[in-house]
Every structure is written in C-alpha cells, then in structure tokens.
Amino acid sequence: MVDGKTGLSHALDRIERSINLLARLVMMASMLTLFIVLLLSILLRFLGRGQDWSVLMSELPTLLLPWLIFGGVVAAAQYGAHLSITFLTGRLRGGPQRAAVTLRLLAIFWVYGVLAWNTLDVLPIVADEHSAILGVSNGVTYGCVVGGFVLLLITEAVHYLRYLLWAVPLPSSFTGEPPGPGDDGAADQARPGFQAEPEQDQLRNQSQSRVAAAAVRPACSARGAS
C-alpha cells in the first residue's frame, strides 16, 4: 500500500517527466524540421530552383522558431538552468530562505499568469490571420506561447512542492547553490520511498572511478612532459 506522501511524490515525478519529454520532443521535432528545410533550400538553390521555393522556405522557420525556443525554455526550467540573480536567496537559510523562495514563486506566477492570460485575449484576433503561402493561422505561434507559460508554471509549482514538503534541494536558479550529485541524486534521496544504492554497488563504482583516474593520470603526465 502506497502512503499519501509517496503517492504524491510519484505523481509529481510523472508530471515532471511528462513535461520534460514533451519539451524535448517539441525541440527535436522543430530542430529536425528546420534542418531539413534549410538543407532542401540549399539543394534547390544549387539546382537553380531556389526562387520557386524561397518564400515557402522562409515561412516554415518563422512558424517553427517560437516552438523551438519555448521547448528549450521549458526544458531548461526543469534543471534550473535559467539565468537568475540569487544574491539574496543564496545567503539565506531555513525559514527566511523559504519565505524568499515563496515570494519568488508568487511573483513568477503573477508574471507568467498575466502574460498567458493576455496572450489568450489576443489569440482569437490573430487566429483570423494566416500566412501568405502555407495558410497557417498565426494562432499556432501564439498557442505555443500560452502552452509554454502554463508548463513553466507547472514546473515551478512542482519544484516548490518538493522543496516545501520534503526539503528536496531546489534547482540552482532558486537558491544559487550548486546542484546535488547527478541530475536527481540529492532530490531522490529526499523523496519518500527512495531506496539507497546497495553498498556493494557503491564500492564497485568507487573502485571503477579510481581505476579510470589512475589510467588517465600517466597519459596526462606524459603529455605535459612532451
């Protein structure tokens, strides 16, 4: 039987993984399509038919670039990789830090919420506008803006709940502290239901790391001597 805390932790994990997977899929699909479009544009220009497709090739990057950008923004938020000013939260500990992080979260919710709401107001207007060649509605581009802000809000809420309920270390953009071991090491240890790695596996990993370091050290010394 799964207790409430473990169930909530697993639910937050599923939400975060789903958002991460969605953001990565959007990024990869947009980047792959842009690569193919640019490659075809170069080939057609080489064959002397670039003028027939130049307008089409210029519209697709315009439509896909916002999706690529917001996919990267959401994916970076998963790991706290955004540029941030942490001179205050990085010096605070305990209750004052939690209060500062809470105020930060409220400010983010207000800003992103206002931007998403205003974009929704504009969405019906721009939906009637279509691109000249492909005929794609401009609402497609504005829709990714709304979706990106919503996913950012969910990501911030998930990080904050883990920090508040189970003292899971926050991404570095929250507190200015370096992340824990690996991407999820420190966070996993603080989650309910976490099972530590067996001691034999830990010793084996440590011995493998020492062997690798010993193998690399003579090569570095020889290179320095040469």
**For residue 87, what are the domain limits?**
4-200
Spatial distance between the Cα atoms of 110 and 112, rounded to a whole number of angstroms? 6
50, part of any domain? yes
* pLDDT tens, residue by residue, 99-136: 888 898 899 899 999 999 998 888 888 888 887 777 88
217, part of any domain? no
- Flag whether the pTM goes above 0.75: no
């506008």: which residue's tokens?
Answer: 129
208, part of any domain? no
How many domains in the chain? Answer: 1
55, part of any domain? yes
Residue 212 has pLDDT above 90, yes or no: no
* pLDDT tens, residue by residue, 4-29: 567 888 888 899 999 999 999 999 99
Helices 94-126, 139-166: crossing angle, 10 deg rounding? 160
Spatial distance between the Cα atoms of 223 and 226, rounded to a whole number of angstroms? 5
211, part of any domain? no
14, part of any domain? yes
* pLDDT tens, residue by residue, 31-46: 998 888 888 878 877 7
179, part of any domain? yes
